[in-house]
Structure 1
Amino acid sequence: MTQRPLSLYALCGSQRQASTSLRLLEALRLVSPEGISIEICDLIGNLPIFNPDHEGDRTPPTVKTLAAKIRDADGLIVSCPEYAHGIPGGFKNALDWLVSRDEVPFKPLMFAHASHRGDLVLEQLTEVLRTMSLRIVPEAFLRVPLAGKSDEAQAMVLAEAQRTGALQAGLDRFVQAIRASV
């Protein structure tokens, strides 16, 4: 029996061009099997600062676009670095825009963490995302230690994670959890 294709939307907590979080999301996109598409969000850096007075009829177009992408996705992948022991401001701003909207509750979510450290941000994100009623899939958690490494070393770590199947395994566990819930 052929399964329907799944669409995943990946949110990167870093806006740096050379972000290890972004590099990990791109690696996941490259290993995604046929029938599983991963789109990486490029809207977070363009969002205005959250203001509850600008919700509802006054919601900015970029926020509406982000919300629509999330609504249309079968699941979300979040990769976020830790900045000053917390969630980067731009990423928290994006989450704030989504708090009172109906696109995120019960949406399956996978963490892809690009560092051997940064557990504080994972704890904080878990708290925020659970408060927003997202369904975090713990068995899909993926940690690939890229932070602090040169581009060449990052490429080697990602190649090894691909060779051993670690990237694919995390993605497979996430897809299985999504399919089991529909």
Structure 2
Amino acid sequence: MKILAISGSLRKVSSNTVLLRACLRLTPPGVEMTLYDALGDIPPFNPDLDDLDNGIAPPGVLALREALRATDALLISSPEYAHGISGVMKNALDWLVGSGEMSSRPTALINASPRSLHAHGQLMEVLRTVTFTEVIEGLLTVPLAGRKTDEASLAVDPDVAPVLVKTIEALVQAVRAAAPPEPLTLSPIGAR
């Protein structure tokens, strides 16, 4: 099972990115989580540059789409700017609306700030529209105030790590629930 983790922040010291890096440390056996760190390579959304029928789009967009095709689920942590979704996150989602890579992909959100209430709700609405599936709320806000915010510390923090683990577990369960059942192999009648 593969999970793609996406931070909606381009900052090098982003608390959202640090949360996702802590998740990488907490990923259970049998689950591969990768941090997508190329949102800055995606140009502003322009439908004139997107030829879905022929697979033509800017390189950064094609790379994101390929990363999504190679994954089973998404884990997103994104900041709020001016009571809204970060520009780079919304821009990336705009490029994905018509292409289908996010369709039916279980998606979970985690939130690094209790002040990020507006963007969290907006992001959930956009994701529901783009993925056509329920979005797992990631057990809401991860309590970072007054804590060491490096990924190693967060991965063992007794208040933060359980929230991250439960979020990852919920996402893994959603992927398993969405997977088609294994086909039955029947033996011919009379075979031993």
**Residue 3 of structure 1: aligned partner:** none
**Residue 173 of structure 2: aligned partner:** 176
Kept in 1, the 8 Å contact 2:25–2:155? The answer is: no
Aligned runs of 1:32-51 on 2, under 5 Å?
32-51=27-46
Aligned runs of 1:10-159 on 2, under 5 Å?
10-56=5-51, 57=54, 58-138=56-136, 140-146=138-144, 153-155=148-150, 158-159=155-156
Kept in 2, the 8 Å contact 1:50–1:97? The answer is: yes
The correspondence for 1:9, drawn from 4, 21, 35, is 4
Query: Which protein is richer in helix relative to its size?
Result: 1
TM-score by length of 1: 0.86
Distance 1:98 1:113 in 2: 22
The CA deviation string for residues 27-63 of structure 1, in whole angstroms up to 9 with x for no partner, is: 0010101111111111101111110000014411221
Q: Which runs of 5+ in 2 are unaligned?
A: 180-192
1:140–1:97 Cα change, 3 Å: same
Kept in 2, the 8 Å contact 1:44–1:91? The answer is: yes
Aligned-pair distance for 1:153? 2.8
1:43–1:163 Cα change, 3 Å: closer
The correspondence for 2:162, drawn from 157, 162, 165, is 165
Choose 1 or 2 for highest CA Rg: 2
The CA deviation string for residues 109-131 of structure 1, in whole angstroms up to 9 with x for no partner, is: 00011112211001111111112
Aligned-pair distance for 1:157? 5.3
Distance 1:146 1:166 in 2: 11
Distance 1:41 1:164 in 2: 21
Distance 1:123 1:139 in 2: 10
Distance 1:28 1:154 in 2: 13
Distance 2:60 2:158 in 1: 34
Distance 2:138 2:9 in 1: 21
1:54–1:12 Cα change, 3 Å: same
1:165–1:181 Cα change, 3 Å: same
Secondary structure at the counterpart of residue 131 of structure 2: coil
Kept in 2, the 8 Å contact 1:98–1:104? The answer is: yes
CA-based RMSD: 2.0
Letter of the 1:176 counterpart: Q
The CA deviation string for residues 86-131 of structure 1, in whole angstroms up to 9 with x for no partner, is: 0111111111111110211111100011112211001111111112
Distance 2:137 2:81 in 1: 25
Distance 1:45 1:89 in 2: 10
Letter of the 2:168 counterpart: L
